[in-house]
Amino acid sequence: MRLAPSPVKQLALDHRIEVATPLTLSLKKGGDAAAAVHAQLRAVNVDVMIVAAYGLILPQAVLDIPSGLPDAGAGPIRAINIHASLLPRWRGAAPITRAIEAGDTETGITIMQMDAGLDTGPMLISEGIAIDPSDTSGTLTTKLAALGARLIVAALRAAARAALHAQPQPAAGVTYAPKLDKREAWLDWSRPAVELARRVRAFDPFPVACGQVRGTTLRLWHADALDGASHSPPGTVIAVEARAVRVACGTGTLVITELQRPGGRRLRAAEFLAGMPLAVGDMFSAPGSA
């Protein structure tokens, strides 16, 4: 429960690079503390600001601080965002998770010129990659991080020789990827199994899909979906096998192969069942449900 630096901050500190972690960049909310950060940024006299997975809104006053790289068709390039989707699909805080959750088969990286809107700025470079059926948010983040690192270097080199061309985002196809909420982790067993299997992958490593059985909250780390009708109420354990627990859903069956008890490790089904046997007829539910 101790505050720990992110890997980026730790690497910077190891190399004696100054790091600022403001609570807000809004002068209205942050007052003197935010003003001090603005002054710090101005003093550095940067050409361009690069933003990746940053949790704060950057007000226009901050976006205007860099002196800017050559105009690519939408004004000097002062701030660039490495966004983990093919815009305008999945603007917002959680594009990787929402893409998996929605069943998308492709995503990618968009290098975009920032404005004061929510991921609404002109696009500079984009490149897509396939979403593998086994991808979790964790594995897909790793792939997109490598792609984003390559594309931001390419964008900066192109910008330095005035070879970038800004393209406005199309009005069609806009979707939003809202911030993740821990309450979303509770699976609704009345939903189709294929949808729940996607949520299990989407919520790995956070917030981790879960269900409650006999009063114990279990985290569900890996699951597949099987088609076919079930004659049992949603949430019912219909089979307990050596490698999986099968649970009836609104349509189809969720085949759970990795589980975790409170305070325990994530385990394959066989190991988990050795410590906490489940039985046919046990019911998975969410807190407060019947």
Residues 205, 126 within the same domain: no
The model's pLDDT over 88-112, given as tens digits with 9 standing for 90+, comes to 999 999 999 999 999 999 999 999 9
Inside any domain, residue 59 = no
Q: What pLDDT sits at residue 116? A: 87
Q: What pLDDT sits at residue 29? A: 92
Residues 90, 145 within the same domain: yes
Q: What pLDDT sits at residue 228? A: 82
Q: State the SS3 of 127-138.
A: EEEECCCCCCHH
Domain that holds residue 171: 46-54+66-177
The model's pLDDT over 25-69, given as tens digits with 9 standing for 90+, comes to 999 999 999 999 999 999 999 999 999 988 888 999 999 999 999
Average pLDDT, the chain: 95
Query: Measured between alpha carbons, how far is residue 62 from residues 156, 159, 208, 221 in Å?
Result: 20, 20, 35, 40
Residues 204, 253 within the same domain: yes
The pLDDT of 121-127, averaged and rounded, is 97
Residues 144, 209 within the same domain: no
Residues 83, 167 within the same domain: yes
Q: What pLDDT sits at residue 288? A: 62
6 contact partners, CB below 8 Å, separation of at least 6 = none
Q: What pLDDT sits at residue 287? A: 76
Domain count, the chain: 3
Inside any domain, residue 290 = no
Residue predicted with more confidence, 290 or 129: 129
Inside any domain, residue 60 = no
Residues 118, 24 within the same domain: no
The model's pLDDT over 159-186, given as tens digits with 9 standing for 90+, comes to 989 999 999 999 999 999 999 999 999 9
Confidence bin at 142 (pLDDT 50/70/90): very high
Q: What pLDDT sits at residue 286? A: 81
* C-beta neighbour count of 251 within 10 angstroms: 17
Residue 290 has pLDDT above 70, yes or no: no
Residues 130, 99 within the same domain: yes
Q: What pLDDT sits at residue 222? A: 98
Peptide bond into 287 cis (omega under 30): no
